[in-house]
Amino acid sequence: MLSLLFDHHVYHSTGFLIITFITRPIVVTYKSTESLIPNPIIDVDQSTKYILQYLWVIGLFYSICAVPISFYYRYRILCKNKCFPIKLQVGLLLFALFLSVTYSLHAYYAFHIRTKQFYGISEEFLAPWFADVNGKVNPAGFVGYFDYYVYIFMTHAAILTVGAYYVIIWCSWRVYKFMKYHQQIRQVHKSFVDIHNQLTRTLIAQALIPLFTFATPIIFIIITVTTPVYIHPIISAGIATSFSYIPLANALSIFVFVKSYRKRGFVILKNGLKKIFHKNGPSTVIISVS
């Protein structure tokens, strides 16, 4: 069952990387404002840019909201000695998706519906650095000091982030106490401890990676939007691009820390290379002379 959760994380991470590559979003804070600027690899109309931008927001927050499920799985199996049925797993994943979709809809309201009449400010501020070939910035979202609602929206983001990490920390602490207690009162099989340590390292990595690539930029954005702190737009955009590293790092953490996944990955790579070289390799033609 845990492999299904890990596979789900890999599939989601791959999908998020694809949407990130297609959308190439730019998040910029400047003069107490924040702009969302989609920069897709192909030329599309503005409506499609909006769709891509807010699909990316869904994938971004799903990267955070879905992480606690793996920690809850381990807590439920070890500490409660209860199964983790597929129905419950799917229900929790759908709940994480619901939180992400509602946040994206909230972002669309806060960044676009409420503030689209202020897009000219974003154009004026950011054109010297982020204008396209037509001299336009074309943001898909814009918020700032001029609208009090930015504080409500930032609170929503903080609640989702803090809530996810509360579950992660609570489950991790309970599992730690459980394992420490049982290791003291009885002999635990070495292979079980090894598997437990592998899963622990993987889950910790999947929790810490978003902490640095998501929580840090979020804090940076909140500070630079709600205070008069000045940061050059190029620097702020560079810091915000760390959002894009969440899925790749999460997927790689599985292969780094879990032996079975490393072995599976090497087997897939080996078989793939064999097929490529076998297909493209030189062929031998035998000619018989009668």
| Digit-coded pLDDT (tens) for 128-150 | 898 887 778 888 989 888 888 88
What are residue 33's DSSP bridge partners?
A: 144
The CATH architecture of the domain made up of 2-280 is Up-down Bundle (1.20)
Quick check: 216 and 240 in contact, CB under 8 A? no
Task: Give me the helix-helix angle, 67-78 and 2-23, nearest 10°.
Answer: 170
**What pLDDT sits at residue 122?**
87
Tell me if 12 sits within 8 A of 247, measured CB to CB. yes
Residues pairing with 143 in the sheet:
34
Dist CA 179 CA 99 (whole Å):
32
Question: Which parts of the chain register pLDDT below 50?
Answer: 283-290
Strands (E), 9-81: 26-29, 33-37
Q: Name the residue ranges covered by the structural domains of the chain.
A: 2-280
Q: Is 34 helix (H, G, I), strand (E, B) or coil?
A: strand
Per-residue DSSP letter, 169: H
Q: What is the pLDDT of residue 286?
A: 43
Q: Say how far apart CA 37 and CA 263 lie, in whole Å.
A: 40
Contact (CB, 8 A) for 201 and 241: no
Residue 45 phi, psi dihedral angles, 5° rounding: -75, 170
Spatial contact of 148 and 224, defined as CB atoms under 8 Å apart: no
Cβ proximity of 225 and 34 under 8 Å: yes
